[in-house]
Amino acid sequence: MTRRANSPTTGQINLPGQAAAPDGPNDLTGMFVMHWAFRRDLDQFAAAAIHTPVEDRAVWRALARRWSLFRHVLHDHHTGEDEGLWPALRSLADAAGAAVLDAMAAEHHDIDPLLASVAEGLDRMAATPDPDARAALEVRVVAARERLGRHLAHEERDALALIQRHLPPAEWERISKVYFEQAKTPREIAALVAWLLHDMPEPATARLLSGAAPVRVLWRLALRRPFARRERRAFRYAG
């Protein structure tokens, strides 16, 4: 199932912060826009942790809720990779590719405790104004941003190249549907769409929603403004 040298290629999207865009037959837009949104969130949380006044418990509560959304989406994304994508690639990869996949799984494992520690810090700030807790939270958020940032770059450079090398488009589409798109309620889908598209560069939005008219209408008429209001509330001090 290794891709032949003359296989058709698909032009990949390139978003701010993206480390690589491996060429090949598969359209990896879905992966790249998720990565962009993870980076967007971590930049915002890092700024909010520094600039939100210690005593503004309402904003800390909003940040804690918003971190819960970020953590849930990231967990679902990593679960899809761990349970579907990496095993499919492992069955086709050589030793070097298997080493990349081992690293992906190990990095997921290392990231989880950092995410939990940020949640604990935000909950503490929402409960009690504590300058020492805020200082510790700043360190945790920056550590999470740096660790996840390194992981996303590693994945874009090396793991996504394995998708292009080994998976024909039909198999990539099957994995995407089974492990990344299915088993979500309508409410979860609406939350994911609003989270993903917020502040996304317009070319990426247009490409992602091409051929998805119902989702485009849902976003523009029902989801965009309410989500933006909640973002302003949570990140009002982030700048």
51, two tokens: 């600039």
Residue 2 has pLDDT above 70, yes or no: no
Radius of gyration of the chain (CA): 19
Mean pLDDT across the chain, nearest whole number?
94
Average pLDDT over residues 125-136: 97
> What are the structural domains, with CATH classification, of the chain?
29-184 (1.20.120)
Under a CB-based contact definition with an 8 Å cutoff, are residues 90 and 101 in contact?
yes
CA distance 124 to 63: 12
pLDDT of residue 228: 98
CA distance 110 to 105: 9
What is the tens place of the pLDDT at every residue in 106-124?
A: 999 999 999 999 999 999 9
pLDDT of residue 184: 79
CA distances (Å), origin 116, targets 60, 110, 111, 230: 16, 11, 9, 22
33, two tokens: 């826009």
pLDDT of residue 6: 42
Under a CB-based contact definition with an 8 Å cutoff, are residues 81 and 102 in contact?
no
What is the tens place of the pLDDT at every residue in 144-188?
A: 999 999 999 999 999 999 999 999 999 999 999 999 987 678 888
pLDDT of residue 155: 98
Average pLDDT over residues 68-96: 97
pLDDT of residue 11: 87
Residue 3, CB-side half-sphere exposure with 13 Å CA sphere: 22
E strand or H helix at 74 = helix 57-80
CA distance 83 to 208: 24
What is the tens place of the pLDDT at every residue in 19-56?
A: 999 999 999 999 999 999 999 999 999 999 999 999 99
Dihedral of CA atoms 173, 153, 147, 122 in degrees, nearest 10, equals: -60
- Number of neighbouring beta carbons within 10 Å of residue 79: 13
Strands (E), 10-163: none
CA distance 107 to 154: 10
pLDDT of residue 8: 65
Under a CB-based contact definition with an 8 Å cutoff, are residues 42 and 118 in contact?
no
**Per-residue pLDDT band at 5 (split at 50, 70, 90):** very low
